[in-house]
Amino acid sequence: MNDRTMRDDLQTVAYYPGCALEGTGHAYNRSTKRIAKKLGLNLVEIDNWNCCGAMEVKNIDPEVQNYLSVRNMAIAKHKMGMDVVMAPCNGCYHNLKKAEHDVTHKEETRKTLKKMADKTGQPEYKPGDVETIHALDWIKYAIGEENLARRVKHSLSGLKIANYYGCMYTRPRHIFPEKDQGEGSESTSKPHFMDDLLRAAGAEVVEFPLKTACCGGAHTLSDCDTSTRLVLNILQAAEACSADVIATECPTCHSGLEMHQIRAEETLGVKTQPVMLYFTQLLGLALGISPRQLGIHENISQSLGLLRQKGLV
Amino acid sequence: MPIHEESLIRPENLRKHEELNIDNVDVSGHWSTFIETRSVADYNENLEREISAFPGGAYIHRCWQCGACTNSCTVNAINPDFNPRYWIYLARLGMEQELLRDKEIIWQCVSCHRCTHVCPRDVEPEGVMKALSHWLEAKGHTPKSQSQHFDEEFYQQILETGKIEEGRIVRNFFNRTGQPLKQPWLIRMVKNLIRGLPIMLMFKMGLSTLFRPKTKDWSKSKHSIEELIEMRELERKKILEGNEAS
Ligand code: SF4
Ligand code: SF4
């Protein structure tokens, strides 16, 4: 069943790290590149990329946000000759998908973006010029579980993991036409790609009901109390599932969980146990890469103690 | 008529009587609660159009009031007064005063996209929430929300350089909104961060605050973004003023 979903066109993909991966999410950047190298996959960074607008610019104007996304996609296609763009950040991934949806379905968007491209002397982005995928799709389809399991050096067995996907990876469903397409495809209500991969790496994946709950990331600083409350929900649910680790696949979610775990402790006096690790860091450990090379020291959430205790370091 | 769902009625429109006798019939107690009748006269007939002119509000007219948005809403689960379906209803009816009662909480939408995910009419209610809060500010009903400050800081940086630098965003945001940077939880977080960082990386991050990350040849993009925003603002101004004149 695994082989049915494998693809051989993902050996080399255009890589769109985005701003967060050069800032708070640098450990995600580092671990993504490190496992790519280990797995023999080629990441070619998009030339002179710009910010995708995150969750903010669309509130100033949705077409500006689309412009920011398609500029990157057009460079990947027309200047670099790439067909697939891989974005590890949920925000970037979401925005590129949203732009693809809008240029495909909205005449008005196409017109506005064409005008802007002409004015700036950039090639116009046409629907389907590139395919945008997430880092999870990339490992799932380029390597697959069976292949991954064969390459595992230190099994993650004994590590209980709750997989947290957040909002932007699955919602709203209409910008992800490839999801919910039956066996082998990702689900928007119960995403499982991260579960599949970490299970293949030997981890004990817990049944986690808040996989796609919101961490309040959009208001992580502008409405701290709400964010702390939402994050605390997620942390306590993971704890109730007896998870040691919450695996993440988004720099905003990841740092939101880290920050508000501390804030919940400081302002509400509620301490929670689970530590946060990027799924790329967990896969890296399984593949035998050292914690330092995966940037595990750089996480705010301190996980080395646990990893040592589980014999993974 | 007895009122069983008092929570649905504005408290000031409820009339209660300890003892009440109507035409020699004693209706004291449970039977003596009434809803004040009222007629609404202060419609803003242009309200839906105004809101649809703000970013995210374009599809508000499609709503058929199924309630799926409110049902799925992350913030509604914390605060039952946060009610996207109801606000869309008021906006479409032109009931501006009624809408203003919730003006302090509308901006709190966390953009989780649950509503847009389930909406059967492609209203994109998440966008409508953003449009509503920008509209509130543009009409002078509320000061800029924290979230709006954040959006603007973000947008400014992208406009200038094509990229953002998170440290700068945080500092400028705290400055704009007058919040202290020395809150205990922030300090602890930064301490945790510094403890783990290799010296070289700290050095690199320090450099990025001096030499801001930039997209090369950005000026044309900057220009065309500014042009679009100016055009949009003009359109909005016309719609808002057109209303005020009538
Ligand atoms: S889900 Fe959509 S159609 Fe239903 S009430 Fe909300 S906005 Fe209206
Ligand atoms: S996007 Fe906003 S309005 Fe929609 S469900 Fe989430 S919090 Fe509620």
User: pLDDT tens digits for chain A (313 residues)?
Assistant: 445 578 989 999 999 999 999 888 999 999 999 999 999 999 999 999 999 998 889 999 999 999 999 999 999 999 999 999 999 999 999 999 999 999 999 999 999 999 999 999 999 999 999 999 999 999 999 999 999 999 999 999 999 999 999 999 999 999 999 999 998 899 999 999 999 999 999 999 999 999 999 999 888 888 889 999 999 999 999 999 999 999 999 999 999 999 999 999 999 999 999 999 999 999 999 999 999 999 999 899 999 999 999 999 8
* CB–CB contact A50 B163 (8 Å): yes
Q: Is the predicted pLDDT of residue B165 greater than 70, yes or no?
A: yes
Provide the shortest C-alpha distance from residue A308 to chain B (in Å): 16
Rounded to whole angstroms, the Cα distance separating A193 from A283 reads 13
Query: CB of A288 within 8 Å of any CB in chain B?
Result: no
Look up residue A298 and give its two tokens: 């750089």
* CB–CB contact A26 B228 (8 Å): no
pLDDT given for residue B12 in this prediction: 79
Look up residue A95 and give its two tokens: 């925005």
> CA A46 from chain center: how many Å?
17
Query: CB of A218 within 8 Å of any CB in chain B?
Result: yes
- Which residues are A276's β-sheet partners? A246
Rounded to whole angstroms, the Cα distance separating A16 from A52 reads 10
Contact (CB, 8 A) for A294 and A281: yes
- Tell me the best of B63, B70, B74 to mutate to test the pocket of ligand 2, counting ligand atoms within 8 Å of each CB and taking the most: B74
> The complex's ipTM?
0.93
Q: Domain locations in chain A?
A: 3-133, 153-309
Look up residue A85 and give its two tokens: 């763009």
Greater model confidence, B5 or A165: A165
Closest by CA to A239, choosing from A271, A263, A264, A204, is A271
Domains in chain B, CATH or no CATH each? 6-35 (no CATH), 47-143 (1.10.1060.10), 148-214 (no CATH)
Going through A96-225 in order, the beta strands assigned E by DSSP cover 131-134, 160-163, 204-205
Write the residue with the smallest CA distance to atom 2 of ligand 1. B119
pLDDT given for residue A192 in this prediction: 97
Query: CB of A108 within 8 Å of any CB in chain B?
Result: no
Contact (CB, 8 A) for A17 and A45: yes
CA angle B65, B66, B71 (to 5 degrees): 115
Which A residues, 238 through 257, put their C-beta within 8 Å of a C-beta on chain B?
Answer: none
> CA A306 from chain center: how many Å?
23
Predicted confidence band of residue B170 (pLDDT cuts 50, 70, 90)? confident
CATH number of A153-309: 3.40.50.11810
pTM over 0.95: no
Provide the shortest C-alpha distance from residue A60 to chain B (in Å): 6
Predicted confidence band of residue B174 (pLDDT cuts 50, 70, 90)? confident
Choose the CATH number for A3-133 among 3.50.50.60, 3.20.20.70, 3.90.1150.10, 1.20.1050.140.
1.20.1050.140
Distance A143 CA to ligand 2 centre (A): 36
Instruction: Give the SS3 label for residue B140.
Output: coil
Q: pLDDT of B91-147, one tens digit each?
A: 999 999 999 999 999 999 999 999 999 999 999 999 999 999 999 999 999 998 888
Rounded to whole angstroms, the Cα distance separating B34 from B32 reads 6
